[in-house]
Amino acid sequence: MDGDCGLCSNVALFLYPRLEKKSSLKFIANNSEEAKTIINTLSKKYQKADTVYLIRNGKAYIRSAAGIRCLLYMKIHYRILFPIFWLVPLPLRDIVYAFISRYRYHIFKRPNACIFPDLN
């Protein structure tokens, strides 16, 4: 996730207490050395995506596909939303994702510091 984005920070703060206790979901800022190392192992298309990433079972997901799959790490009453969101076609989901991504800095205040290291 983007470590200096207010939306990303708020999403992480929302997700963290709602994760399953055994969840392996980890929040890493895209500009951190650890994230750069992971992103550099992905295909060129994914390396240039400049978006949220989710690595699940060795497969990389980006944009809305990554966001929706985060539901799979959450407690059951959130996890059941996954099939509902998954029914929305990927191109439509990514259009909405791109719109929100484009205006996120105008809507959400940037945090003073990256919160992700504190969450993991």
Map out the domains of the chain as residue ranges. 6-111
Q: Grade residue 17 by pLDDT with cuts at 50, 70 and 90.
A: confident
Of 56, 76, 78, give the one whose Cα is nearest residue 66: 56
Judge whether residue 106 has pLDDT over 70: yes
**Res 25: pLDDT:** 85
Q: pTM of the full predicted structure? A: 0.79
> What percent of the chain shows pLDDT beyond 90?
42
